Amino acid sequence: MILAKSTGFHYHRHLLQSSFPSSYNFSLNQLQRAITKRISLSAQYKARTNHISSSAIVAPKMVKAIRVHEIGGPEVLKWEDVEIGEPKDGEIRVKNKAIGLNFIDVYFRKGVYKASAIPFTPGMEAVGVVTAVGPGLTGREVGDVVAYAGTPMGAYAEEQILPAEKVVTVPRSIDPSVAASVLLKGMTAQFLVRQCFKVEKGHTVLIHAAAGGVGSLLCQWANALGATVIGTVSTKEKATQAKDDGCHHAIIYSEEDFVNRVNEITSGKGVEVVYDSVGKDTFQGSLSCLKLRGYMVSFGQSSGTPDPVPLSALATKSLFLTRPTLMQYTVTRDELLQTAGEVFANVAAGVLKVRVNHTYPLSQAAQAHADLESRKTSGSVVLIPDGC
Ligand SMILES: NC(=O)c1ccc[n+]([C@@H]2O[C@H](COP(=O)([O-])OP(=O)(O)OC[C@H]3O[C@@H](n4cnc5c(N)ncnc54)[C@H](OP(=O)(O)O)[C@@H]3O)[C@@H](O)[C@H]2O)c1
């Protein structure tokens, strides 16, 4: 397990409460906006010069990747050779050093979310080194260490082609495995506590799967913002981790009724917000835990899709219900840079500790999926390309 700096996150609370929390973050964003501008200018240049073409015949570049030819269990993840090609206008080729495993990869593999084509290469988060830039692109250079989280899917590969506008620079102080463990999950935590429902000092929040990849970061961030944090977990070991991450009350929901416990802890008042990524098994109970005018933030379904909710279920307490996704909170390049910048700044400052609790060779992605789905993992899981 790699732990990024773990002490002092209370001291750094102020860092979390401004849009650009530190001079480091501000300069990172300035730098990345300059890069964006140059990427855009170079694309315009290319549009004016794209009549120039090369007649040289280049052998197709092959890399190893995980491919899915049919939806199903972990066994459908196959280790194969794929052709990667060269980056085109606005694109870069990246040799991955570490790939973040996320529950969304399971949803695509099982067909809960539909991939746009089959076969496909899963994966939505990676950190790597730029090995080629598209023609005319001047905003990126070979050797840059970059990270991406979200679309396009295809991170379970030794190398991949990415739109330059989708990647962000990884600060030198952050190890690639840590960055690949925190970008998608950390940006998710950021939009949940800082944008979707803004957690403030004095709030009481309920976080399900508090020892998971997103859950671990959510607990730390909500605690640093001054909230009383209640977390649910399935085992004693996970409860210990959640407490270490700033959870004031860890409920073992596989043994205790979490609704009763939240009632006891809040003296019947309920919580301001529930961050519910478990879905089917917890959704109804989560609604019961909310106080009047509370926020139900349903952002995942690791136990299955929740049943449909009648409006009358919200009317009894004038509740708010939202089903947000990271992609809709990082639509523009500015939104992406601000969200990623805040995450990296808080990791670099020690406000967030990143638990890289499990690493697997990329070729063993099937085992990693099996372990994530069977609740054997905690914190973040990364896949390391074989030979790295
Ligand atoms: N909306 C968004 O934009 C967004 C972005 C990122 C992630 N997410 C969601 O956030 C959640 C967490 O993602 P993650 O990658 O960090 O995974 P994770 O939390 O590390 O793993 C899932 C955890 O869910 C809990 N769980 C409860 N019931 C389960 C069941 N029946 N099967 C499997 N797990 C169950 C387990 O924790 P316990 O053992 O403690 O119960 C398990 O460790 C996922 O639902 C994901 O879809 C949403």
> pLDDT tens digits, residue range 117-151?
999 999 999 999 999 999 999 889 999 999 999 99
Q: Where are the domains of the chain?
A: 13-33+60-181+328-384, 201-322
Section 274-292 average pLDDT:
98
Residue whose entry in the numeric block shows the structure tokens 């981790």: 241
Q: What is the pLDDT of residue 34?
A: 45
pLDDT, average across residues 202-229: 98
68-90 confidence digits (pLDDT tens): 999 999 999 999 999 999 999 99
Confidence tier at 327 by pLDDT (50, 70, 90) = very high
DSSP 157: B
Which CATH code, of 3.90.180.10, 3.10.520.10, 1.10.10.10, 3.40.50.10490, is assigned to 13-33+60-181+328-384? 3.90.180.10
DSSP secondary structure code for residue 187 in this structure: H
Ligand 1 centre distance from Cα of residue 87 (Å): 34
What token pair was written down for 107?
């949803």
* 282: pLDDT strictly greater than 60: yes
Q: Are 329 and 335 in contact (CB under 8 A)?
A: yes
- Of all protein residues, the one whose alpha carbon is nearest to atom 5 of ligand 1 is 188
Q: Which of 99, 101, 102, 103 to mutate to test the pocket of ligand 1 (most atoms within 8 A of CB)?
A: 103
Which atom of ligand 1 sits closest to the CA of residue 329? Answer: 3
Residue 22 has pLDDT above 80, yes or no: no
Pocket residues for ligand 1 (CB within 6 Å)?
102-104, 185, 188, 209, 211-215, 233-234, 238, 277-278, 281, 299-303, 324-326, 372-373, 375, 377
Distance CA 149, CA 10 (A): 28
Alpha-carbon Rg for the chain, nearest whole angstrom, is 21
Q: Which fold has domain 201-322?
A: Rossmann fold (3.40.50)
Measured CA to CA, the distance from residue 156 to residue 365 in angstroms comes to: 8
pLDDT over threshold 70, residue 58:
no
Say if residue 12's pLDDT is above 90. Answer: no
The token duo for 217 is 């970061």
Least confident of 4-13, 180-189, 296-305, 337-346: 4-13
pLDDT for the residue numbered 57:
67
Cα separation, 109 vs 105, in Å, equals 6
For 115-128, give the secondary structure using H, E and C.
CCCCCECCCCEEEE
Using the mean position of ligand 1's atoms as its centre, give its distance from the Cα of residue 27 in Å: 33
How far, in Å, from the CA of 103 to the mean position of ligand 1? 6
DSSP string, 227-281: -EEEEEESSHHHHHHHHHTT-SEEEETTTS-HHHHHHHHTTT--EEEEEE-S-TT
Give pairs for 260-268: CB < 8 Å, separation 24+: 261/230, 262/206, 262/230, 262/289, 263/289, 265/204, 265/230, 266/204, 266/291
pLDDT tens sequence across 38-54? 444 344 434 443 443 44
Mean pLDDT, residues 323-331 taken together: 97
